[in-house]
Amino acid sequence: GKSQGVFFEFQVRDNGNSLKVFTTRPDTIYGVTFLAISPEHSLLSDIEFSDQIMNKVRDLLNMSCCHGNRTKVGVNLNLMAKHPLTGDEIPVYVADYVVSNYGSQ
């Protein structure tokens, strides 16, 4: 079924990109300490990242996200985004547990 929630937009520092984030719990937005995007996210093709980062992202794509109690894995993109309510800068990661189309319009 369709989840009910809201979207928040986080501006990515040092470029014109932004990340639109869906949450079913808008009351938790003040507690955001990082953003995690899927390995298929378009941001990865919009910005040039180091070979080391992109190799780690490719490794995530080759992993299956749904094997029992496996440890969640993420790659720090060395990218910061601005929290839309507090103005704090928070890191952006690629994570194997993020579903690329969940909450999409």
pLDDT tens-digit map of 28-44: 999 999 999 888 888 88
Alpha-helical regions (H) of 20-92: 43-46, 51-62
3-state secondary structure of 90: strand
CA dist list (Å): 39 to 43, 64, 94:
10, 12, 6
pLDDT tens-digit map of 65-77: 555 566 777 889 9
Q: What's the pTM value of the predicted model, to 2 decimals?
A: 0.80
Query: What pLDDT, on a 0 to 100 scale, did the predictor assign at position 1?
Result: 65
CA dist list (Å): 46 to 16, 66, 78, 84, 100:
10, 28, 15, 21, 16
In this prediction, the residues of the chain whose per-residue pLDDT falls under 50 are none
